[in-house]
C-alpha cells in the first residue's frame, strides 16, 4: 500500500477518536468553565458509561441494535445521576474549593474504578454494534490509461464508525444550541460569568452546578457508550481518555466550545496519524509534554482565553 | 520546657522507640516497618512542598522514580557500587527538581497541579519507552551481592531496618531544622499569603525553588533507598498512583506537621495491607479515605491533635 | 534631600491610561498624603512605586537610585514598607509571628533581637496585649493596627500606607492620627487616604491625582484653597 491510503486510514481512525474525545472533553470543559473545578474522576464516568452499556445491552438481549439503543438512552442519564449524587455528597460540602476538589475527585476516581473492579471484574467485554457493514474505500492512481480508481486492500471502515462521527456532530450541535438558545444555557453562562451576581439575581446556583456536573458526566458516558462496540469495556479504560481530554481542553482553552472541538480534531487526527507511523508511547510522551509546555508558556490555551 | 525543647524530646524519643522496636517486633512487621520508614521519607519530602509551602504536586513519583532509577540503572548498566549509585540517585532527583522547578515557577494553582501531573506522566511513559533498559512494568531485580555499602549487606533484615531508620531520622531532623529556622517560616508565610510575603521583602521564586529542590531530593533519596533496600525497580513506582500516595499519606497524617507523614504512611500502609488480603480492589480504601479526609478532617490526624491540644507541635 | 521620585511614570491597561506621565518628588522626612477621587490612579501609582505593578513607561528613583526594573522584594529590602489596602495579615499565624516575618531578616536571624523588635512594634500600635493570639482572631480594627505594626517594625525609610483608616471606627481613627503624628520625623510616610480629616491632620503636603495625572500639589491649606481641587474632589465630599 502506498502512503496515500495510509494517510486516509489514519485520518478516518483519527476522526473516530476525535468524535468521542470532543464529547468527553466538552464535558470536562463545561464543568471547569461553569464550576471552576477540575474533575479528575471524569475518565471514570466515561468508563461507567461503557460498562453500563454492557450491562444494559446484555439485559435487553434480542437484536444487537435494540440493546445498544437501550444503552444509548439509559447509560448517560444513569451516569449523570451518579455524578449529581457525588456532587451533592462531596463537592457541594467542600464548597467547590479548587484544590480540595481535585483531591476529592481523585478519591472518587479510585472509589468508582475499584467498585467496578469488584462488581464487573477485571475482564474486557465487548458490546455488539447495532450495524457494522464493512465499507471499502476507493483510491485513485495514475495509470498509462489516465486516472483510475482502485480498492487498496486494508483501506476501509465500518458503517458504525461513520455513524459515531455523525452522532458526535449532531450531539455537539445540540449542546451548542442548548448553550446559546435556551434558558438553561443562559443560566449556565450567567453562573459562569459571575457566581455572586448570578446568586443575587436568584439563579439557583446550586442546582445549576449539580446539573452541569451531571451533564459533563453524561457527555463522558455518551462517549463511553459510543466507543464500546469498537473498543471493549474495561475498568481501567478511563485513564487514557482522561489524559487526552485534559490535553484537548488545555490546548483548546478551558470553557470554549469551538476551541474544544478544534483541539479534539487536532489531537484525535494527529494521534491517529502519529500512531500509524510512530510508537504510541512516544506519541503520548510528546502529547503530555506539549500540554505541560502550553500551560507553562501559554496558559490561555492555543485558542481560548486565559482560564487557569 | 520550652516548645522547642518539647519538640526535640518528642521526635528524638520516637526515633529511639523505633530503634528499640527492632528487637521486639516479629519478622513480618519488622519488614513492613522498614518499608514504612523509607516511604515516610518520600512523604516527608512531599510535605515540605505541599504541607509547608502550600504547593500541591500531583507528580512527585517523578522524583521518587528519578532516585530509584538513578540508583538501579547505574548499578545494573554501569556496574557502579551501591555507594556511588546512591549518590547518582540523589543527583538525578536534584537535577530533575532543578529543571522541573524552574519551569513550575511560571505556574500557580490548578495549572501547577496539572503541569506536575503531565510531567510525571511523561516520566512514566519514558520509563516504559526505554523498556530495553528499565524492563518497563515488569521491572528488574537488583542482585543481593550488589546491595552492599561499607561492607554492610543491606538485604539483611536487621541492616535494612537500621538503614531505613537512619534515613528517616535524617529526614525528621532536616525537617525540624527547616521549620525552626527563618527559611521554613518564610515557606509557611508563602503558603498562607504569597503577596503579603513578597511585600515583606522575600524573594518568593527563590524560596519556592529551594523548597522544590529540597522536596524533590528528599523524595529521590527515598526512591533510591527503596531500590537499594528492597532490591527492585519497576515502572509502577513512576505511575500516577505513586504520585497520589504521598498526597494521601500526608493528608491523612497532617499536612504541615513533622510527624504527620510518618503517622499517615503507617496507617495507610497497614490499612491497605489488611484490605488487600480481603480484596484485589484495595485501592478502594485509598479512595474512600481521600474523600473522607477532604470532607471531615482536612487537617489530618496530627493536624487535629495540634489544633485541639498540642499547639506547640511543629 | 529627595527620597523618592518619579519621572514621566505611566501605566496603561489596554487603551486605559490609569497613570499618565506623573512627575513626583517626596523629600525625606515628610508625611505626604496622596488623594484623589475613585479611579484617579492612586492604587496603580503606588503599585508602581512598590513594584507590585510594572510601569509601562517612565522611571522610579529611590534614594537616588533607579529602581524601575527592580522586583518588589528588593525595593522592600532597600527600605520601603508597604501596608495593604485590604487587610492582609496571616490569619492562621500568631500575631507575633506576623510581625516577626517582617523583621527577621533585618535582625540577621537573631531570634532574641527579632522578638524584642516585635514587641516594640506591637507596643507602639497598642496591641502588645494581643501578642499570643492568632491574627485571624483579632477584631478588624486590631488587624489594621497589626498591619501597620508589620510596616513600622521594619524601621523603613519610606512607609507606604494604602488607605489605612478604611473601615475603622471614629475612636480608632483618632488613635491612628496620633500614631502617625508620633511617627513623623522618624520616617518618610506616603499616605493614600480617602478620609480628608485624617489627611488634613497628619500630612505636611498633599498631592492630588485626577484621571491619572497630578492635578495639584501643596500644603493642606493650599490644597484646601485650590479651586480645581474643590471642583474635582473636595466639592463632592
Residue whose C-alpha is closest to residue B167's, from B27, B43, B314, B7:
B43
pLDDT at A307: 41
Distance (Å) of CA A155 to CA A170, A280, B10, B185 = 26, 21, 71, 65
Could you give the angle at the alpha carbon of B91 between the alpha carbons of B87 and B97, nearest 5°? 145
Kindly state the cell numbers that stand for A64.
444487537
| Residue A100 located in a structural domain | yes
C-alpha cell at A238: 478511563
- C-beta of residue C88 within 8 angstroms of C-beta of residue B195: yes
CB contact (8 A) between residue A117 and residue B295 = no
Same domain, C149 and C166: no
* Structural domain range at position C116: 89-155
Q: What is the ipTM of this complex?
A: 0.89
Determine the distance in angstroms separating the CA of B240 from the nearest CA of chain C, rounded to an integer. 32
Whether C29 has a pLDDT exceeding 70, the answer reads yes
Please tell me which residue, A38 or A42, carries the higher pLDDT value. A42
Answer yes or no: is pLDDT of A219 > 90. Answer: yes
Domain's final residue, options C155, C173, C202: C155
Rg value, chain A, Cα: 20
C103, C63: one domain: no
Residue C234: is its pLDDT beyond 80?
no
Query: Would the pTM of this model clear 0.80, i.e. be above it?
Result: yes
Task: Give whichever of A32-36, A76-80, A136-140 has the largest mean pLDDT.
Answer: A76-80
**Quick one: C105 and C71 in the same domain?**
no
Domains of chain B by residue range: 12-238
Per DSSP (E only), the strands in A165-228 are none
Q: A301 with A307: CB under 8 angstroms?
A: yes
Contacts 24+ apart (CB under 8 A), C122-126: C122/C95, C122/C96, C122/C146, C122/C149, C124/C149, C124/C152, C124/C179, C124/C182, C125/C149, C125/C152, C125/C179, C126/C175
Residue B148 to residue B152: CA distance in whole angstroms = 5
Instruction: Based on the fold, state whether residues C227 and C199 are members of the same structural domain.
Output: yes
Let me know: does B82 contact B228? Beta carbons within 8 Å.
yes
Instruction: Evaluate whether residue A71 is within a structural domain.
Output: yes
Q: How far apart are CA C130 and CA B213, in angstroms?
A: 37
Residue A115 domain-assigned (yes or no): yes
Whether C73 and B208 have beta carbons less than 8 Å apart is answered as: no
Name the residue range of residue A113's domain.
35-246
Rounded to a whole number of angstroms, the distance from the CA of A38 to the nearest CA of chain B is 8
In percent, the amount of chain C with pLDDT more than 90 equals 45
Candidates A16, A273, A43; CA nearest to A168 is: A16
Q: Which residues are within 8 A (CB) of C32 and not within 5 positions of it... i.e. 6 or more apart? A: C26, C188, C189, C190, C191, C203, C204, C205, C206, C207
* Cα–Cα distance, B132 to B295 (Å, whole number): 44
- pLDDT 10s digits, C39-88: 888 889 999 999 999 999 999 999 989 999 999 999 999 999 999 888 78
Which of C52, C73, C109 lies at the smallest CB-CB distance from B182?
C109
CB contact under 8 A, B201 and C73: yes
Last-in-domain residue among C133, C155, C177: C155
CA–CA separation, C7 vs C22, rounded Å? 6
* Average pLDDT for chain C: 88
State the average pLDDT over residues A226-253: 87
Would an 8 Å CB–CB cutoff place B177 in contact with chain C? no
* Pairing of the two strands C213-218 and C205-210: antiparallel
Q: What is the pLDDT of residue A154?
A: 65
pLDDT of the residue at B308: 80
- pLDDT at position A273: 74
Q: How confident is residue C237, by pLDDT bands cut at 50, 70 and 90?
A: very low
Residues C73 and C161 grouped into a single domain:
yes
- Is residue C226 one of the residues assigned to a domain? yes
Residue A277 lies in a domain: no
Which of residues A240 and C233 earns the better pLDDT score? Answer: A240
Helix or strand holding residue A171 (H, E): helix A159-181
Per-residue confidence band for A303, with pLDDT thresholds at 50, 70 and 90: low
Same domain? C117 vs C212: no
* Weakly modelled stretches of chain B, pLDDT under 50: none
Give me the pLDDT at residue C39, please. 80
Residue C84 lies in a domain: no
DSSP A88: I
Is A in contact with C (3 or more beta carbon pairs below 8 Å)? no
For residues C163-172, average pLDDT: 86
Average pLDDT, chain A: 85
CB–CB of A289 and B286 under 8 A? Answer: no
C13 closest CA partner among C49, C37, C43: C43
Stretch A66-90: mean pLDDT: 94
**Domain edge (last residue) among C121, C136, C155:** C155
Q: How many domains does chain C have?
A: 2
Which residues does chain C have within 8 Å of residue B196's beta carbon, measured at their own beta carbons? 84, 88-90
Task: Give alpha helix (H) positions in chain C.
Answer: 42-50, 72-77, 95-103, 111-125, 140-152, 170-183, 196-202, 220-225, 227-232
Reduce the DSSP state of residue A189 to 3 states and report it. Answer: helix
Cα B111 to Cα B96: distance, rounded to the nearest angstrom: 19
Provide the number of structural domains found in chain A: 1
Q: Output phi, psi for B241, to 5 deg.
A: -55, -40
pLDDT at A1 exceeding the cut of 70: no
CA distance A308 to chain B (A): 6
Amino acid at each position: 500500500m502506498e502512503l496515500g491510503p495510509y494517510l486516509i486510514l489514519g485520518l478516518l481512525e483519527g476522526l473516530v477518536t476525535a468524535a468521542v474525545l470532543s464529547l468527553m472533553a466538552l464535558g470536562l470543559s463545561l464543568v471547569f468553565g461553569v464550576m471552576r473545578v477540575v474533575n479528575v474522576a471524569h475518565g471514570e464516568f466515561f468508563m461507567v458509561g461503557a460498562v453500563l452499556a454492557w450491562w444494559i445491552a446484555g439485559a435487553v438481549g434480542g437484536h444487537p441494535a435494540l440493546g445498544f439503543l437501550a444503552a444509548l438512552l439509559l447509560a448517560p442519564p444513569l451516569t449523570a445521576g451518579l455524578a449529581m449524587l457525588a456532587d451533592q455528597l462531596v463537592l457541594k460540602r467542600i464548597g467547590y474549593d479548587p484544590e480540595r476538589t481535585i483531591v476529592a475527585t481523585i478519591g472518587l476516581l479510585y472509589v468508582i474504578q475499584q467498585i467496578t473492579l469488584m462488581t464487573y471484574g477485571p475482564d474486557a467485554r465487548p458490546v455488539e454494534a447495532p450495524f457494522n457493514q464493512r465499507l471499502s474505500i476507493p483510491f485513485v492512481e495514475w495509470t498509462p490509461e489516465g486516472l483510475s480508481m482502485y480498492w487498496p486492500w486494508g483501506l476501509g471502515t465500518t458503517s458504525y464508525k461513520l455513524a459515531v462521527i455523525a452522532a458526535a456532530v449532531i450531539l455537539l450541535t445540540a449542546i451548542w444550541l442548548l448553550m446559546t438558545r435556551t434558558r438553561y444555557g443562559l443560566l449556565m453562562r450567567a453562573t459562569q460569568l459571575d457566581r455572586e451576581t448570578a446568586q443575587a439575581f436568584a439563579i439557583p446556583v446550586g442546582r445549576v452546578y449539580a446539573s452541569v456536573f451531571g451533564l459533563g458526566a453524561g457527555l463522558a458516558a455518551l462517549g463511553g457508550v459510543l466507543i464500546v462496540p469498537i473498543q471493549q469495556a474495561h475498568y481501567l479504560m478511563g485513564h487514557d481518555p482522561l489524559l487526552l481530554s485534559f490535553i484537548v481542553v488545555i490546548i483548546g482553552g478551558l470553557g470554549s466550545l469551538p476551541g474544544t472541538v478544534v483541539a479534539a480534531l487536532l489531537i484525535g487526527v494527529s494521534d491517529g496519524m502519529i500512531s500509524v507511523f510512530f510508537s504510541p508511547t512516544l506519541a503520548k510522551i510528546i502529547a503530555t509534554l506539549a500540554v505541560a509546555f502550553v500551560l507553562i508558556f501559554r496558559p490561555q490555551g492555543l485558542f481560548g482565553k486565559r482560564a487557569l | 520546657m520550652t516548645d522547642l525543647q518539647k519538640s526535640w524530646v518528642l521526635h528524638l524519643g520516637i526515633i529511639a522507640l523505633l530503634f528499640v522496636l527492632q528487637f521486639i517486633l516479629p519478622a513480618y512487621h519488622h519488614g513492613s516497618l522498614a518499608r514504612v520508614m523509607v516511604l515516610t521519607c518520600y512523604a516527608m519530602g512531599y510535605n515540605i512542598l505541599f504541607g509547608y509551602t502550600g504547593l500541591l504536586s500531583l507528580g512527585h513519583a517523578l522524583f521518587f522514580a528519578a532516585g530509584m532509577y538513578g540508583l538501579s540503572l547505574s548499578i545494573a548498566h554501569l556496574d557502579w557500587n551501591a555507594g556511588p549509585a546512591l549518590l547518582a540517585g540523589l543527583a538525578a532527583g536534584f537535577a530533575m527538581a532543578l529543571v522541573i522547578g524552574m519551569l513550575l515557577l511560571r505556574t500557580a494553582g490548578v495549572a501547577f497541579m496539572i503541569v506536575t501531573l503531565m510531567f510525571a506522566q511523561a516520566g512514566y511513559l519514558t520509563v516504559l519507552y526505554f523498556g530495553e533498559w528499565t524492563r518497563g512494568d515488569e521491572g528488574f531485580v537488583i542482585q543481593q551481592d550488589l546491595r552492599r555499602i561499607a561492607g554492610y549487606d543491606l538485604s539483611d533484615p536487621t541492616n535494612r531496618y537500621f538503614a531505613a531508620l537512619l534515613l528517616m531520622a535524617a529526614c525528621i531532623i532536616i525537617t525540624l531544622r527547616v521549620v525552626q529556622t527563618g527559611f521554613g517560616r518564610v515557606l509557611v508565610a508563602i503558603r498562607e499569603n504569597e503577596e503579603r510575603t513578597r511585600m515583606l521583602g522575600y524573594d518568593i521564586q527563590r524560596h519556592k525553588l529551594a523548597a522544590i529542590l529540597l522536596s524533590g531530593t528528599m523524595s529521590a533519596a527515598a526512591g533510591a533507598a527503596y531500590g537499594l533496600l528492597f532490591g527492585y525497580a519497576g515502572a509502577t513506582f513512576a505511575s500516577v498512583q505513586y504520585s497520589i500516595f504521598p498526597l494521601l499519606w500526608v493528608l491523612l497524617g497532617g499536612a504541615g506537621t513533622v510527624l504527620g507523614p510518618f503517622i499517615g504512611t503507617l496507617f495507610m500502609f497497614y490499612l491497605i495491607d489488611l484490605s488487600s488480603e480481603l480484596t484485589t480492589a484495595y485501592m478502594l480504601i485509598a479512595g474512600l479515605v481521600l474523600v473522607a479526609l477532604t470532607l471531615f478532617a482536612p487537617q489530618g490526624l496530627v493536624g487535629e491533635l495540634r489544633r485541639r491540644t498540642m499547639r506547640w507541635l511543629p | 534631600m529627595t527620597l523618592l521620585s518619579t519621572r514621566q511614570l505611566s501605566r496603561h491597561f489596554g487603551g486605559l491610561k490609569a497613570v499618565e506621565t506623573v512627575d513626583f518628588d517626596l523629600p525625606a522626612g515628610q508625611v505626604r498624603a496622596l488623594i484623589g477621587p475613585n479611579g484617579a490612579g492612586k492604587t496603580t501609582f503606588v503599585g508602581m512605586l512598590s513594584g507590585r505593578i510594572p510601569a509601562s513607561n517612565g522611571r522610579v528613583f529611590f534614594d537616588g537610585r533607579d529602581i524601575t526594573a527592580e522586583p518588589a522584594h528588593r525595593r522592600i529590602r532597600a527600605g520601603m514598607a508597604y501596608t495593604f489596602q485590604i487587610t492582609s495579615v496571616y490569619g492562621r499565624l500568631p500575631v507575633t509571628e506576623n510581625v516577626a516575618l517582617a523583621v527577621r531578616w533585618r535582625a540577621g536571624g537573631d531570634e532574641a533581637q527579632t522578638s524584642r523588635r516585635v514587641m516594640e512594634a506591637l507596643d507602639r500600635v497598642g496591641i502588645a496585649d494581643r501578642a499570643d493570639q492568632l491574627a485571624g482572631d483579632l477584631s478588624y480594627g486590631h488587624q489594621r493596627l497589626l498591619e501597620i505594626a508589620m510596616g513600622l517594625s521594619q524601621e523603613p525609610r519610606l512607609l507606604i500606607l494604602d488607605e489605612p483608616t478604611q473601615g475603622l471606627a471614629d475612636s480608632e481613627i483618632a488613635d491612628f492620627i496620633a500614631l502617625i503624628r508620633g511617627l513623623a520625623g522618624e520616617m518618610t510616610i506616603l499616605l493614600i487616604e480617602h478620609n480628608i480629616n485624617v489627611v488634613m491632620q497628619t500630612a505636611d503636603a498633599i498631592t492630588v491625582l485626577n484621571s491619572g495625572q497630578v492635578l495639584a500639589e501643596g500644603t493642606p491649606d493650599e490644597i484646601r484653597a485650590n479651586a480645581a481641587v474643590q471642583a474635582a474632589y473636595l466639592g463632592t465630599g
